[in-house]
Amino acid sequence: MRIAVLGAGAWGTALAIRLCTRHAPCRVVLWGRDAAHLDELAAERTNRRYLPDHPFPDSLRLTSALDAAVEHADLVVIAVPVAGLRGTLHAVAAGGRKPPLIWACKGFEMESARLPHQVVREAYPATPACGVLSGPSFAQEVASGLPTAMTLASFDEGFSQNIAAQLHGARLRVYSSRDVVGVETGGAVKNVISIAAGISDGMGFGHNARAALITRGLAEITRLGLRLGGSMETFLGLAGAGDLILTCTGDLSRNRQVGLALAAGRPLPDILRELGHIAEGVYTARAVARLSRELDVDMPITRAVSGVLHDGVPARLAVEALLSREPKREAC
């Protein structure tokens, strides 16, 4: 199978490495838009900027020419941030050939509040078989070959089953699903809840508070996801609870790191500059908060995080406001 991975950040690089080294290796080409960065990767055979200490397999090809990357691909894997998804899709479509594709980005498009599959429908018209790859997965661990389980969802059940089977391996287990909306919602909103968990941890509120945030955060994800048409079982699975637990507790979580720094009183621009990676929750929070108001979905944690990030609300005041909410019956 010939695969083009589009996006030479940490996640795209990790997927390219893993797909090259699975038990039935694929022919993989990694594309990035920055030609100088790709030259650096080719010379050093590692992504020192985004994923150091993970040398490339000999079989991994690199290119900054998009047409060359997708020309003979049986499958395109888009691993750019959500903000770059629409432009990348336009560029692929402009080449004339439309190979099947999956996307591995997590979030809502900030300006439109659209999920990735909605962006795909608009920017990649007459879309062939396609789907979303998501689940609990840190790039460093995937690149290291540590066991990881993910979900591949598509409206075309045959496509999701076929591609999941081809990507599946002993260290990268891929399960198929038909619930594109649920998988995307879980992957997007968990990043916002992770920022809240980082704020809580940074303020020293302890493990009990973190567990409460994860649990109530999952309730928010589920409420929004069900309203958008997702399935309950998805939010209890890898792309829901699994991804949420990982990103709220793991030290490799960029969004949790943002929350920790906010709790310390650091300005957001400084945090993002020093992080050096995209923290999707920062951009997703505003879109989800707006969407929750439009759909009348109760999402107090998400709105509190959006207030801290974008409206100048001090982190401690936001947490105190959450803690002072009137008690009510626990429900999803």
Q: Which amino acids are annotated catalytic?
A: 190
- The one-letter amino acid code at 40 reads E
Residue carrying structure tokens 């105190």: 320
Question: Edge-to-edge strand order for the sheet containing 101-103?
Answer: 61-63, 27-31, 2-6, 75-78, 101-103, 130-134, 148-153, 172-177
DSSP-assigned states of every residue in 273-291? HHH-S--HHHHHHHHHHHH
Backbone angles phi, psi at 189, to 5 degrees: -75, -25
User: How far is Cα 27 from Cα 20, in angstroms, rounded to an integer?
Assistant: 7
User: How far is Cα 297 from Cα 4, in angstroms, rounded to an integer?
Assistant: 38
Torsion sign over Cα 122, 100, 83, 36:
negative
Q: Helix H segments across 236-299? A: 243-249, 254-263, 268-275, 280-295
User: How far is Cα 74 from Cα 235, in angstroms, rounded to an integer?
Assistant: 31
Tell me if 188 sits within 8 A of 168, measured CB to CB.
no
